[in-house]
Amino acid sequence: MTNTNTVAELAVAMPQAIPVLERLKIDYCCKGRQPIEQACSRAGITTDQLLSLIEGEPAAGETRSWDDAPLQEIVAFILRTHHAYTRATLDTLQQLAAKVATRHGPHHPELVRVQRLVAQLQDDLMPHMMKEEQILFPYFDQLEPSGGGSASPFGTVRNPIRMMMMEHEAAGELVAEIRAATNDFALPADACTSFTAFYKMLAALEDDLHRHIHLENNVLFPRAIAMESAA
């Protein structure tokens, strides 16, 4: 973990650490600025133990380093991988939430709360992604050497980025509430196929959203700020 002081820096420098951080419930996206030593202490392990777990982690999933990638390439990946997935998954989750709450709500009242939280997450993320796609990401294109440059419509890119990061934190809090309400997605004995699919899809969305926010907060946004400052 040389040259990394925060959890976010660790996740950027060593993408293979992300599955380990997920399992340990160490927030590397919205609260990624916390020092590694402090995060390990809260998780009940030492930094050496964390490093050992990371070194033993088999390569899987998205482990690419984006350090030298153009902004357009990072944005394109976010759009086709994370934005498309989030939209499709939330649409399905809304339907499953209603179905499962109707069927199992009388015996599992937490499902009614989960249904409300899923609706709130969709209501928050849909306009959030649209703002990125229609306003922020097109401006990033202008920051590239081939973009030609243009006057910023918001003074400095730091302003909309600050707002996007606040909205990321709110989304992160919602998925944390969903996890807590479902007792870490623990299925009851009477869970049917739809109930099982619902919880599995919620867990998968949480994992993808963490990676999504990490890529924007800790890679894309800092790069855009640095490029604007250097222009």
Q: Are 207 and 185 in contact (CB under 8 A)?
A: no
CA 46/CA 63 separation, integer angstroms: 24
Tell me, what amino acid is at 118? V
Closest CA to 29 of 224, 223, 226, 219: 219
Q: Which residues contact 36 (CB under 8 A, 6 or more apart)?
A: 1, 4, 5, 6, 7, 10, 47, 50
Q: Are 136 and 161 in contact (CB under 8 A)?
A: yes
- What is the model's pTM? 0.86
pLDDT in tens, the chain (231 residues): 555 689 998 988 888 888 899 899 999 998 889 999 999 999 999 999 999 998 887 655 555 778 788 999 999 999 999 999 999 999 999 999 999 999 999 999 999 999 999 999 999 999 999 999 999 999 998 887 765 566 677 788 999 999 999 999 999 999 999 999 999 999 999 999 999 999 999 999 999 999 999 999 999 999 999 988 886
